Chain A
Amino acid sequence: MLRRATALLARPVSSLRARPFSTDVAETPAGNPAFYEAWKKVVPHIEPPKTPLSFMKPRPPTPASIPTKLTVNFVLPYASELSAKEVDMVIIPASTGQMGVLPGHVATIAELKPGILSVHEGNDVTKYFVSSGFAFIHANSFADIIAVEAVPIDRIDANLVQKGLAEFTQKLNSASTDLEKAEAQIGVDLHSALNGALTG
């Protein structure tokens, strides 16, 4: 029975700890070392909470030469319309006017106004009507477009747009308080942008 005892004793002790226990704390993930250190000081026995960065795919650094394609993320609250899609060009309805974005565009933060967002991919052009939002263009030829609402332009009913425009114009004329006026103005702006998108 004790024949194997010597072999067991001779076995290096370190091998016993070779496999970590499942309760062992994993190494702190990269990203926010300062935060993890501060957390460890306050509550050493609980793992620090995750941060958004740890759920994100890392973005590549700015390449030396301009890439041929633009990588676009186009997100809505209820869907990711385009996710890391490589396209040739996008035209963004910035509040200062339509803005064409090609690969290698200078880094920009742009506020959007109601208008047409078109995505050019070879000969294919996809047009969306976006209500409002933000667009970030990064130096590494990544473009992020966040909109509150967006629909493909072929799904908009022209008759309803005309009706809505008339309705809000009438409301704007009859508005008495500032709040009503502002609401009607937003309606008119949106509908005239829709109208322009459909006719133009």
Chain B
Amino acid sequence: MAMAALRREGRRFTPLISPNPIAAVRSSIMPAEEQVPLGVRSISTQIVRNRMKSVKSIQKITKAMKMVAASKLRAIQSKAENSRGLWQPFTALLGDTPSVEVKKDALHKLTAGPDKETKYVILGEKAKAQLIRDSKKDIVLNITELQKNPLNYSQVSVIADDILKNVEFDALRVVFNKFQSVVAYLPTVSTVLSPEVVEKECEAGGKLGDLDSYEVEGGETKSEILQNLAEFQFSCVMFNAVLENACSEQGARMSAMDSSSRNAGEMLDRLTLSYNRTRQASITTELIEIISGASALEG
């Protein structure tokens, strides 16, 4: 009883009395926060235990995020794969013209053209963060939170309509990541030409020269049909691009979350090892103290 009271008193006075020699020695070896107050002999495992707890909860979160990304990916992947047929007829008809010379360029998400008038329409936050730094004045439109609802064609065509209304262009280049597998995506550029440019290129021959041989059914004039065609092409290309991009995003998120939960697991293993070792060391110390005390009494 008296001993316990004395110890309590002693603990209260710890800050006042000079630190005992053992603690001084220990503090020179160990970090300051592991200094234990007088009277507590065991080595503190509190810090390690706290870290273990936090790592474990982080691992739980990343695992859950991975599961969410995987289930979203599965839904979007089938959609993206089904929509791949959509742009092919347009490419077959109008060709693939990434090098076409135009003055007014409206791009999605990326640039590759110096000394020309280039405007950006950005879908999503990722590209915005990249482009806002050096070409803030060229961003005409910025659409975010696309994936709140599941993507469908009418939603994308409304966005396409918005872009067509607000942006004056000669060629639209849609830059997106084409989904190949969960860890691989190919940066891709598709080009949509405005009807005037199509007509000009058509007359000039070259890649679009074949278009002249096509008969046009419906509509009053050829330019009217080309206008409709360009708008429809843009919405179709956009639809596929948005799906492919969303798919790549989910794939990237899934693999990132997978590797971070694996990292957390490794860290947890290391922490558990050091926790167990510390605990064992404190037990051993206690045993040695008891045994040596007993043997001192005997002797």
* One of B92, B189, B191, B232 near A56 (C-beta < 8 A): B92
Known: A38-B99, A111-B225. A50 touches B218 (CB 8 A): no
In the complex, B83 has a CB within 8 A of chain A: yes
In the complex, B184 has a CB within 8 A of chain A: no
Cβ contact within 8 Å between A51 and B85: no
Cβ contact within 8 Å between A75 and B85: yes
CB distance from A179 to the nearest CB of B (A): 15
In the complex, B98 has a CB within 8 A of chain A: yes
Cβ contact within 8 Å between A42 and B114: yes
Residues of chain B within 8 A of A136, CB atoms compared: 89, 92-93, 214
Residues 31-60 of A, flagged 1 when their CB comes within 8 A of B and 0 if not, give 110110011001100000111110110010
Interface centre among B96, B218, B236 (most CB of A within 10 A): B218
Cβ contact within 8 Å between A77 and B218: no
Please report the total number of B residues contacting A with Cβ < 8 Å.
43
Give the CA-CA distance A107 to B79 in the complex, in Å: 31
Cβ contact within 8 Å between B218 and A95: yes
Cβ contact within 8 Å between B82 and A80: yes
Residues of chain A within 8 A of B98, CB atoms compared: 32, 35, 51
The majority secondary structure among interface residues of chain B is mixed
Cβ contact within 8 Å between A55 and B178: yes
Residues of chain B within 8 A of A31, CB atoms compared: 96
Cβ contact within 8 Å between B85 and A73: yes
* One of A51, A75, A76, A110 near B217 (C-beta < 8 A): A110
Give the CA-CA distance A38 to B115 in the complex, in Å: 14
In the complex, A109 has a CB within 8 A of chain B: yes
Kindly report which residue of chain A lies nearest to residue B211, judged by CB atoms: A109
Cβ contact within 8 Å between A78 and B82: yes
In the complex, A162 has a CB within 8 A of chain B: no
If A79-B82, A83-B85, A110-B216 are given as contacts, then 4 extra A-B residue pairs at C-beta distance below 8 Å, sorted by A number, are A34-B99, A42-B112, A52-B96, A78-B79
